[in-house]
Amino acid sequence: MAAPSKLAYLLERLTQGVAAHDRENPTHHTWGIGMAHFDIERLGLEEGEEILPGIVLQSDGGVTGQFRVLCDGRHEEGAAEVEEEELVEAVGSQPVEIPSPAVPPPLKPPV
């Protein structure tokens, strides 16, 4: 079960990753964070949720244990939209087979 402190740590890493990307690419508009579906599940997160203000979490089919800063800008050498940051420390190394929601679900508009 992912402790709330782990989620706080993850959000801090995401914030730092976005900030680093935006600092290096001031003309880019960052709109999302990409994670492997596996990571989203084991972190107890939800695809499509606004994980940071203005930043939506997307399942991108990428490498597990990392996240990508998704933006509308172009990156050199074909690495468009990709900035990789280690996620391993945040999620821990132990496999989580039965994810239990440790954090309250994100606020959603009534359906």
Residues near Zn ion, by CB under 5 A: 25, 28, 71, 73
What is the spatial distance between Cα 96 and Cα 4, in angstroms, rounded to a whole number?
Answer: 15
Least separation in angstroms between CB 15 and Zn ion: 16
On whether the CB atoms of residues 50 and 58 are closer than 8 A, the answer is: no
Least separation in angstroms between CB 101 and Zn ion: 32
**Minimum CB distance to Zn ion smaller for 25 or for 64:** 25
**Minimum CB distance to Zn ion smaller for 44 or for 73:** 73
What is the spatial distance between Cα 72 and Cα 40, in angstroms, rounded to a whole number?
Answer: 22
**Minimum CB distance to Zn ion smaller for 43 or for 70:** 70
CA-based end-to-end distance of the chain = 28
Longest dimension (CA), the chain: 43
Least separation in angstroms between CB 62 and Zn ion: 15
